[in-house]
Structure 1
């Protein structure tokens, strides 16, 4: 009886939305194949499934058509026809991270929430949040770890939950150390050390509306400077405290393009599409560090 009602409901919904008549038969047939005992469908799976489907549709709509934006590591791999992880997309309207789900989770000893670090070192302070990335710049060209333009090595400090990501290219070496704060506020602490063999290098701290699963929309992005650095305000909340003042701040929107590829000083931006990006440039000389 229940299966009949479900089938009728699916048929009515498909007809109302103008869907192909096979839709209801395929869905109900799939349930029968995977549920021979006729057990009730676990309703708690619906919210998760709906979020995954919505994320997959958003990923397809954005990353498929806005290739002028630098994507997260998994996108740069799956969307590159020359990469072994390339997945053809013509037959699907969902784009999900299917190939690089080997990220690292860390947290402080008194914090219930986890931060994520992907294979290129991008940090999401909380699961589902935006990402913080590092990039290198010299002589008018940007080098992105997610695109394989920088060598990336990742280790744990003495097998402790203290991940270290090392970036190297030409005569520059950058080490990014991350750990969870002992406080209960979920703060993630970062220290970036560098050694550059020549002048002209810059480190860019990027704030990105993406994470290892897809979108983490940023509608408002602002840099509030102070005497000892400044705060990055994300969607109205002070999220990132920079303890060292950047030499150049670029906030950008979908219309203006990716902040990575823009060097016009803009300290605040609103993007109705949720694609606000930020790039915080530090000019390097010899050795030094950046803390946030």
Structure 2
């Protein structure tokens, strides 16, 4: 398959070529897209993502001097065979993805530090005394969660002990009947990996209860506005879950209990803010980042590295 081009365009030599895969049918069938990086346009589409197809195409285009690609071994082989004198460079898009992933892994190890200090605001005017919802007591579910955590901690210690004795990750996987990727991820963590909060729609909305309570107490009773605000903070659920969460407060006319627990931000969302240029951040995102850096010096160092790279 070849992209239609005019005769004049076909005569223009390509010196810098971008190579990446593209989906004929997502997760089922893939081809290769070739881009003229100097002119910023598609040069050709190959029917598959094989080394042979790329090598054959490059052999017919000897003017290519630079090939930008991801770390796919097939593309590396095809580039080496079809254009042995061309310089191969890493695709910037994939490098940025790798950077964000590395930042996220670092922040996961410091998840307890990902607290958002409250912004400095003027004192609110005096408001009438209102009834608050009583503090809930620990539930059987919480107790069960603690028991499951203890079992995971024991399993983690078994992995560390076996690895220290010289067992390979594959051997540990067989010995403890765990997935190979799980063993590798836990060993890379360097410390016991706390389980991430459940991401079900209702439970995910509950993760933002403290923030929603604070905003409700400040006078924001619009569910759509509250939904928009927590989306900026990493919420991935739907608006209806937020509406259900605050509907009880509206019906009773009572304020929810204002807690003293600090607001947290998910490592993945924090990594996105850290790696993004200041000019690409909204005012609210910049405010979140500033509050995060005020509490976690490690974030300041990570951001300096990220911006220096970009």
In the superposition, the TM-score normalised over structure 1's length comes to 0.27
Pick the structure with more strand per residue.
1
In the superposition, the TM-score normalised over structure 2's length comes to 0.26
The higher-RCO structure (CA 8 Å, 6+ apart) is: 2
